[in-house]
Amino acid sequence: QKEVEQNSGPLSVPEGAIASLNCTYSDRGSQSFFWYRQYSGKSPELIMFIYSNGDKEDGRFTAQLNKASQYVSLLIRDSQPSDSATYLCAVNMNVNTGGFKTIFGAGTRLFVKA
C-alpha cells in the first residue's frame, strides 16, 4: 500500500516563529513532491513542489527533501496568523501498471497564535 504520512496536529506556533511540517512516504522511487495549503472549507492550493534532494526556497516557504530517508518537510518562516490552515503533502508514486499516481497525506493542521 502506497502511503504518505503526516502528523495530524494541530501544530501551534507563535506569530513570527518558524513552523516545521513533516511528511514521510513509502515509495522509495518517488520523484515529485508537493505541498498544498487548505483553508477550512476551501480547496487545496499549491504552495510549492520539489524534485531534487536538498532545499528549495520560495519567499517565506522552504521545502526540504531527503530521498534517502524518504521524508519531505515544509518550513514556514515568520509565521503569520493567516498561515493557519491544513497543509497537505502529496507525492507522485510509481504504480504497478506503469505511470504515476498522486497520493495525498491527511494533512497537518497549523495554528499560528497572534
Give the binding-site size for another protein (rule: CB under 8 A). 24
Site membership for another protein, residue 43 (CB under 8 A): yes
Cα gap 13→24, rounded to integer Å: 21
Residues between 11 and 40 with contacts to another protein, criterion CB under 8 A: 31-32, 34, 36
Question: Scanning the structure block, which residue is given the C-alpha cell 491527511?
Answer: 106
Secondary structure of 39-52 in HEC code, one letter for each residue: CCCCCCEEEEEECC
Site membership for another protein, residue 99 (CB under 8 A): yes
The β-bridge relationship of strands 11-14 and 108-113 is parallel
Contacting another protein (CB under 8 A), which of 10, 12, 15, 45? 45
Contacting another protein (CB under 8 A), which of 92, 108, 110, 112? 92
Measure CA 3 to chain center: 14
**Stretch of residues binding another protein (CB under 8 A), selected from 13-21, 57-65, 68-76, 95-103:** 95-103
Contacting another protein (CB under 8 A), which of 10, 51, 54, 80? 51
Type of residue at 89: C
Residue 77's Cβ-side half-sphere holds a number of Cα atoms within 13 Å equal to: 7
Binding stretches for another protein (CB under 8 A):
4, 8, 31-32, 34, 36, 42-46, 49, 51, 88, 90, 92, 99-102, 104-107
